[in-house]
A and B are shown apart, each in its own frame.
Chain A
Amino acid sequence: MPLIRCPWCGDRDEVEFRYGGQAHVAYPSDPAALTDAEWADFLFVRDNPKGPWRERWFHTAGCRRWFNAVRDTATHRFVATYRLDEEPPELPT
């Protein structure tokens, strides 16, 4: 069970958190203006890379705050975590 570094609480056991899928997928400002295909793309389609990517986590059993993380999907290593109002770090290459 990995440790996840909550930006507010520090390193905590993974069981305290809930996974929240890909990060930086903003809710469209005017969903009604989107075509069916564009809406379906927002609703159903997410990236699925092998390697580092940005994703959301929720510290359910802790401070109950959402934050973002860079995690390597191939190694399951957390590269970084950052607050929602912080600039996302560069992805390691």
Chain B
Amino acid sequence: MTARRVDGWGRIDRSTHLPFTYDGGAFEGHAGDTLASALLANGVDVVAPSPIEGRPRGVFSAGIEEPNAFVELSAPWFEPIVPATMVDLVRGLAAHGRPGVGRLPLEPPATRPTDHRHTHVETLVVGGGGAGLAAAAEAASRGDRVLVAHDRAWWGGALPDEQAETVAADLVAVDDVTMLPSTTALGVYDDGYVVLHERAINADRIWHVRARRVVLATGALERPIAFADGDRPGVMLAGAVRVYLERFGVLCGERAVVLTTNHWAYATARALRDAGAEVVAIADVAPGGPAGEAARADGFEVLQGWSVARVEGGRRVEAAVLVSPDGAERRLDADVVAVSGGWNPNTHLYRGIGGGLRYDAAIASWVPDGDAPPWLEVVGTATGDGLPTSVPYAYTPAADLTRHYVDLQRDRTVADVLASVETGLRSVEHVKRRTYIGTAIDQGRTSGPLTAAIVNDALGEAFGAQGPTNARPPAVPVSFAALAGRERGALLDPVRTTPIHPWHLEHGAVFENVGQWKRPWFFPRDGEDTEAAVLRECRAVREAAGMLDASTLGKIDVAGPDAATFLDRMYTNRMSTLAVGGIRYGLMLGLDGMVMDDGVAMRLADDRFLVTTTTGGAATVLDRFEEWLQTEWPDLRVYCTSVTEQWATVAVGGPRARDVVAAAGCDVDLSAEALPFMAWRDGSIAGVTARVARVSFTGELSYELHVDGRHGAHVWEAVMAAGERFGITPYGTEAMHVLRAEKGYVIVGQDTDGTVTPDDLGMSWIVRKDDSDFVGRRSLARPDTVRIDRKQLVGLLPVDGSVLLPEGGQVVATEVVGAPPVPMLGHVTSSYRSAALERTFALAMLQAGRSRVGSTVYVALADAAVPCDVVAPVFWDPEDRRRDG
């Protein structure tokens, strides 16, 4: 016989029929069912095989403690693995049994819309049973904003509770009270921060709750008892057997054996008999007691001091063999064995926030006591109050304990626990790690207390001398999809685009991500690959004119009477001596003397500068400015404002750049005399106000056109149109990288890595020689920074000019790479094909590199060492003859 639905029992809507499928078979349940109750009602004994040994396993519990009945849901939405006991049945549900391990489909599955919500309340109640609802009603009556999270679809505890339903119905009607059924708390964190997971039919929702007061009404969980083959379908927790009958109208068997340490399981026996089942025996491991006497008086066969030695049967229990205190056995036909080893307060969330515990010998369990944060309160049976007295009894003694399953989801037995203790382990935590008990999806809710008791017993220590193992959030598994919420795909990270971005899209740019920015990497023409496009773009800049969208450059407005003094302290060179209208390149160091960013400063007025930063460094530099101003120099009157997105910047470079900019309708005198290198002038271009700056990152004659962001696209298109007859070519970041490397200009973060000083880059010229201090200066005199064997920036020319060195390639001294450890001289930081040089070239950081110029080194690749000539790191126009055009 198997389970079946019985009339006159249950608190579900038997008039609503919900078709569903399980492992391909068609079934029907009712509104209010869980998948587990519906499977039981349909006589499904085996839900899934056990994960390691493949033993048949059925529904063991009625809640989150379920260690057996795991399913994958494929409709109406996908869930990789959930306990059937926590799945609210819906029409059209499709489930497949899974052996305790989920799998991801190859194609992205249908999921419910996922979302995150944030809320603040005075009182958050976790648990919508009687105690939780009472706490919520009390808080609501004080006028608190209240949120009640309950992990079941119904209000009240596991057993039907009309009073709780009434209280809940009243609370639903109260403003400022939010009632969330089917919502599980994943973790309780500092200062009343609680994360909830709501499993609604139309949404998979994560709640971030900040509560002034958190009430845990998380109830209690029943302990099993291990005996031989106690994992067979039909062996169930006694409380669950009663829940299936009283809430779902499912009778779990016709012939029941009840095994218990406490009086609560007698209620299960009485309910089973009332519903028409035969209770063939109640084995009570205690030697006697009032519950047993009362039951005997009512005609039950109560065997005091007895236990269950083993069960018989394969895919379903067929008989239970009971054993007396003196070892006598009795075999009884039975199709369900209802087991209760006592009850534990459900303290997972409480322990996760550091709540202390005390062992209560009366109920043989740990209960909350001490060390909880002041805003946290535990109520109801979660405190241990009202739980039945129980002896500690983890398993039925036997010679062979290898089928006394303790952790059903890890297929671990009493023998495994004892073997761990035998090897010398003395801590429950260590036993957990050796056996993996308690590490599965159910997080050891049934196996943990058993294991602690077995270890206590094996070590001859008192019960409660140690244990339980630590509990950590999340309290129940949660899918990454739910945690990700909407932050996936295009919404994974903010995407920043320049005002010229639409033009780039239209013209087929291939983009690269630079921080959050999308920057055109190159603009391929018909049939071009990356290399061909980049070579063409580079050639255009060297031979005619190119244009780059440089709008992503970080820009900081530094204003105030002390702006110049401040910048002098932040940069290695002097900015205070810069005239209005001038531009100066600057290096910024960390306190440790290492290069952290570079850029140019334009002096706009005596008390105002515009400072540019690297695209990726803008936020860091602004943070750093503000840190020094606030924490070290609050006397300086300086204000820093990020203006990166207020300005669009079009960089026009190449021998024809002057012609192009003039043709675009620029009213600034562009001659080298009127607008020399490293100067800016205000004026207009293409009808809009512009700041025109002579800055070059390519070595060619270049103009940076800074305009209001709104006019960026207009100016870009005007320059494109005007430049057409001069061969204007839009280029991307890859060509920009090649062109600057040909000039030996470093990129902070590519050629440097936070361990590089200005001198290492050959840039001592930018470090001022007077006595005045700047950030990082003292470190430049540290013994380590003046070592002569530091890595220094050099150029590398592969002897075979067609070989492209990999960036990151290691530089060694000899062609034949010896046995490890091979002395490393340095590494390649930048490497490109050059159109202008008609060969490959690279930049490298090389030990004592400047002294090696003229020698040959080798870049070690997997199959060869590539010989390279060490040269100065300037490959193009070392005399700077081209920058004035």
* A interface list, Cβ under 8 A from B: 1-3, 13, 18, 20, 26-27, 30-32, 34, 36, 39-40, 43, 56, 58, 60, 64-66, 76, 84-85
State in angstroms the CA–CA spacing of A34 and B781 once bound together: 11
**Closest CB of chain A to B353's CB: distance in Å?**
12
**Closest CB of chain B to A13's CB: distance in Å?**
8
- Counting CB contacts under 8 A, is B606 at the interface? no
Given A20-B627, A66-B627, A84-B631, are A39 and B190 also a contact pair (CB < 8 Å)?
no
State in angstroms the CA–CA spacing of A18 and B315 once bound together: 58
- Name which residue of chain A comes closest to B630, CB basis: A66
- A31 near B773: Cβ-Cβ < 8 Å: yes
**Closest CB of chain A to B773's CB: distance in Å?**
6
State in angstroms the CA–CA spacing of A65 and B630 once bound together: 8
- B771 near A43: Cβ-Cβ < 8 Å: no
**Closest CB of chain A to B374's CB: distance in Å?**
11
Q: Can you give 5 A-B contacts (C-beta < 8 A)?
A: A18-B623, A39-B778, A43-B592, A58-B623, A66-B630
- B773 near A66: Cβ-Cβ < 8 Å: no
Residues on A with C-beta less than 8 A from B781 are 36
Residues on A with C-beta less than 8 A from B592 are 43
- A26 near B632: Cβ-Cβ < 8 Å: yes
Please tell me which one of the listed residues A13, A31, A56, A76 contacts residue B778 in the complex, with CB atoms under 8 A apart. A31
- B627 near A58: Cβ-Cβ < 8 Å: yes
State in angstroms the CA–CA spacing of A23 and B190 once bound together: 23
- Counting CB contacts under 8 A, is B502 at the interface? no
* B interface list, Cβ under 8 A from A: 189-191, 193, 210, 591-592, 623, 626-627, 630-632, 634, 771, 773, 777-779, 781-783
Residue among B191, B193, B630, B783 with most chain A CB within 10 A: B191
- Name which residue of chain B comes closest to A1, CB basis: B193
State in angstroms the CA–CA spacing of A66 and B190 once bound together: 23
Please tell me which one of the listed residues B627, B634, B779 contacts residue A39 in the complex, with CB atoms under 8 A apart. B779
State in angstroms the CA–CA spacing of A13 and B208 once bound together: 11
- B778 near A34: Cβ-Cβ < 8 Å: yes
Given A31-B777, A39-B779, A76-B190, are A84 and B630 also a contact pair (CB < 8 Å)?
yes
Given A34-B778, A39-B778, are A2 and B634 also a contact pair (CB < 8 Å)?
no
- Name which residue of chain B comes closest to A25, CB basis: B631
- Name which residue of chain A comes closest to B592, CB basis: A43
State in angstroms the CA–CA spacing of A40 and B778 once bound together: 10
**Closest CB of chain B to A7's CB: distance in Å?**
12
Residues on B with C-beta less than 8 A from A85 are 634
Residue among A26, A36, A84 with most chain B CB within 10 A: A36
- B190 near A60: Cβ-Cβ < 8 Å: no
Residues on B with C-beta less than 8 A from A13 are 193, 210
If A2-B190, A60-B623 are given as contacts, then 8 extra A-B residue pairs at C-beta distance below 8 Å, sorted by A number, are A1-B190, A13-B193, A18-B623, A26-B632, A30-B773, A31-B773, A40-B782, A58-B627
- B630 near A43: Cβ-Cβ < 8 Å: no
- A43 near B779: Cβ-Cβ < 8 Å: yes
**Closest CB of chain A to B355's CB: distance in Å?**
14
- B191 near A3: Cβ-Cβ < 8 Å: yes
- Name which residue of chain B comes closest to A39, CB basis: B778
Given A1-B193, A31-B773, are A36 and B631 also a contact pair (CB < 8 Å)?
no
State in angstroms the CA–CA spacing of A18 and B623 once bound together: 10
- B591 near A43: Cβ-Cβ < 8 Å: yes
Residues on B with C-beta less than 8 A from A36 are 781-783
Residue among A2, A31, A60, A85 with most chain B CB within 10 A: A31
Residues on B with C-beta less than 8 A from A3 are 190-191, 193, 210
Residues on A with C-beta less than 8 A from B626 are 64, 66
- A32 near B190: Cβ-Cβ < 8 Å: no
**Closest CB of chain A to B155's CB: distance in Å?**
30
State in angstroms the CA–CA spacing of A68 and B421 once bound together: 50
Residues on A with C-beta less than 8 A from B632 are 26-27
State in angstroms the CA–CA spacing of A43 and B777 once bound together: 12
**Closest CB of chain A to B81's CB: distance in Å?**
28
**Closest CB of chain B to A10's CB: distance in Å?**
13
State in angstroms the CA–CA spacing of A65 and B631 once bound together: 9
Residues on B with C-beta less than 8 A from A31 are 773, 777-778
- A56 near B190: Cβ-Cβ < 8 Å: no
- Name which residue of chain B comes closest to A56, CB basis: B631
**Closest CB of chain A to B368's CB: distance in Å?**
19
State in angstroms the CA–CA spacing of A64 and B625 once bound together: 12
- Name which residue of chain A comes closest to B772, CB basis: A32
State in angstroms the CA–CA spacing of A5 and B228 once bound together: 57
Please name the 8 residue pairs, one residue from A and one from B, whose CB atoms are nearest each other, closest first: A31-B778, A2-B190, A3-B191, A66-B630, A27-B632, A1-B193, A2-B191, A39-B778
Residues on A with C-beta less than 8 A from B631 are 56, 66, 84
**Closest CB of chain B to A77's CB: distance in Å?**
9
Residues on A with C-beta less than 8 A from B777 are 31-32
State in angstroms the CA–CA spacing of A84 and B631 once bound together: 7
- B783 near A32: Cβ-Cβ < 8 Å: no
**Closest CB of chain B to A26's CB: distance in Å?**
7
**Closest CB of chain B to A40's CB: distance in Å?**
7
**Closest CB of chain A to B415's CB: distance in Å?**
41
Residues on B with C-beta less than 8 A from A58 are 623, 627
- Name which residue of chain B comes closest to A18, CB basis: B623
- Name which residue of chain B comes closest to A27, CB basis: B632
Given A66-B627, A66-B631, are A32 and B782 also a contact pair (CB < 8 Å)?
no
- Name which residue of chain A comes closest to B195, CB basis: A1
**Closest CB of chain B to A67's CB: distance in Å?**
9
State in angstroms the CA–CA spacing of A85 and B630 once bound together: 10
- Name which residue of chain A comes closest to B778, CB basis: A31
**Closest CB of chain B to A63's CB: distance in Å?**
11
State in angstroms the CA–CA spacing of A36 and B778 once bound together: 9
State in angstroms the CA–CA spacing of A3 and B777 once bound together: 38
State in angstroms the CA–CA spacing of A27 and B628 once bound together: 10
Residues on B with C-beta less than 8 A from A65 are 630
Residue among B193, B591, B771, B778 with most chain A CB within 10 A: B778
Residues on A with C-beta less than 8 A from B779 are 39, 43
**Closest CB of chain A to B589's CB: distance in Å?**
12
State in angstroms the CA–CA spacing of A30 and B190 once bound together: 42
Residues on A with C-beta less than 8 A from B193 are 1-3, 13
Given A31-B773, A56-B631, A84-B634, are A1 and B189 also a contact pair (CB < 8 Å)?
yes
State in angstroms the CA–CA spacing of A38 and B627 once bound together: 23
**Closest CB of chain A to B196's CB: distance in Å?**
14
- Name which residue of chain B comes closest to A75, CB basis: B354
State in angstroms the CA–CA spacing of A30 and B777 once bound together: 11
